[in-house]
Structure 1
Amino acid sequence: MVLSMDRWKGKTAIVTGASAGCGASIAEQLVEHGVNVVGLARRKEKVEELAKKLQNKPGKLYAIKADISKEEDVLEAFKWVKENLGPVHILVNNAGIAKPSRLVDGNFTDWKNIFETNVLGLCAATKEAVNDMKQNNIDGHIIHINSVLGHYVAHVPFLNVYPATKFAVTALTEVLRQELMNMNSKIRVTSVSPGPVETEFASANKLPVDDEFEKFFEAMPKLLGEDVADAVIYVLSTPPHVQVQELTVRPVGEKV
């Protein structure tokens, strides 16, 4: 099997949650491979900072302010891409949040926000991308940044509904694969499931008042955002007839 990113050079990718962590690393590597990337994030200024850093690279990074949990933001972002860059070839659903608490005393609004971002936002972006690819006869690629927690529930405190949202991503990957197959579409779909990652997302979602949880997380072996980006580049590099449906990437020595 020959691995190559050549077919994506000059094409357009959308990466959600592109302001930091895995999303920023994925956007950067795609630009390095000559892809024009639209980075969606609530913190647009962070994406703009990254775009300046990548000015002389083969591809280009564009920053769009969008909250993936709001359908109107998703629709506006895809409209901008269509009007300014043309059809979408790659969608990386990376945006995700966690709000640590226990199920028995957690906050309903927090749970709702987690599902709206991790599940419904992913569905909204996927719908727009697939429809755009179909209309333009593009054999594109949809990549969901999932988690090992989308396959089992770890003995980790304060996860509440987060694993449930990632289990949903696992199911949605297969649902989409089956729908595309039944449509005789050659659009590919992949779930990339990392273990613990040392990113701003992880540190921002710690419980600062809980020393036990902080020590637990700090002691874990962790991947870097660049490792997840490498996984994304790998699945995109496979030949058009190859579909990597699930790719699990874990740090050596992970025990949870």
Structure 2
Amino acid sequence: MVLSMDRWAGKVAVVTGASSGIGAAIAERLVEYGLKVAALARRLDRLESLAKKLSGKKGKLFPIKTDMTKEEDILNAFKYVKGHLSPIHILINNAGIMPTNSFISDGDTKLWENIFKLNVIGLSIATREAVKDMMANNVQGHIIHINSVVGHQVLDFPGLSVYPASKYAVTALAETLRIELNSLKLKIKITSISPGAVDTELQSEEFKETPYFKDLLKENKILKIEDIADAAIYVLSTPPHVLVNIFNYK
């Protein structure tokens, strides 16, 4: 098997949650490989700083201010991409939120709603819009969900509240989409990348002070954002006839 990103050069990738952490790292790597990257996030200033940093690279980053909890924002972002860039070939569903101090026994309903709006509904809307565009343009694309190990096994860590449930939903959504794409005989890949603990802004300062996190850090078991970007590039580098379904990365 020959791994290569050459077939994606000049193509369009949409990356959600691209203003920091894993999303920014993946967006940066894609630009370096010559892709046109539509970077979606709420913090436009950070997206613009990233675009400036990447000027002169083989590809280009296009900042698009987007609140992934709002359908109108997501639809407007995809409308821009479809109107100003070429057909979408890659979607990286990275945007997410992970509160670590919320409990089901006394948790806040609004917080729960926000978790599902971002981690599940926003992801689903972005997936729908990308698939529609890929179908309309007969694109052999690739969709990657940045999932989590807690989307496959609930950890003994109080305070995660409904977060694991949202990631279990992402696992199911990836498999549901795969079945759907196969039934339609579409050559669109779907991969779920499920990291363990990653040192990003997603981890609250409170979580980083817990014995759990410190033990992982001591044992050198905390992943870096570059590790996840490497995983995304790996699955994208596989030939069209090769599919990596689930990539668990602990």
TM-score by length of 1: 0.93
What's the offset of the Cα at 1:206?
Answer: 4.2
Report the aligned-residue RMSD.
Answer: 1.2
Which one-letter code corresponds to 2:242 in the other structure? V
Q: For each residue in 1:118-174, what CA deviation from the matched residue of structure 2 results, as whole angstroms up to 9, or x when unmatched?
A: 000000000000000000010100000000010000011201000000000000000
Q: Is 1:216 matched with 2:212?
A: yes
Partner of 1:115: 116
CA contact (8 A) 1:16 1:23 kept: yes
Percent identity, please: 58
Partner of 1:71: 71
> Structure 1 unaligned runs (5+)?
251-256
Partner of 1:201: 202
CA contact (8 A) 2:174 2:190 kept: yes
> Structure 2 unaligned runs (5+)?
none
Partner of 1:154: 155
Listed as ranges, the matches of 1:85-96 within 5 Å are 85-96=85-96
Partner of 1:60: 60
Runs of 4+ in 1 over 4 A off after TM superposition: none
TM-score by length of 2: 0.95
Q: Distance in 2 between matches of 1:233 and 1:193?
A: 14
Partner of 2:229: 229
What's the offset of the Cα at 1:87?
Answer: 1.1
Aligned pair count? 245
Q: Distance in 2 between matches of 1:89 and 1:51?
A: 20
CA contact (8 A) 1:206 1:214 kept: no
Q: Distance in 1 between matches of 2:197 and 2:8?
A: 29
Which one-letter code corresponds to 2:212 in the other structure? F
Partner of 2:174: 173
Q: Distance in 1 between matches of 2:185 and 2:72?
A: 30
Partner of 2:103: 102
Partner of 1:133: 134
CA contact (8 A) 2:97 2:202 kept: yes
Q: Distance in 1 between matches of 2:25 and 2:163?
A: 22
Which one-letter code corresponds to 2:103 in the other structure? R
Q: For each residue in 1:14-37, what CA deviation from the matched residue of structure 2 results, as whole angstroms up to 9, or x when unmatched?
A: 000001100000000111111110
* SS in structure 2 of the partner of residue 201 of structure 1: coil
Q: Distance in 1 between matches of 2:211 and 2:45?
A: 32
* SS in structure 1 of the partner of residue 10 of structure 2: coil
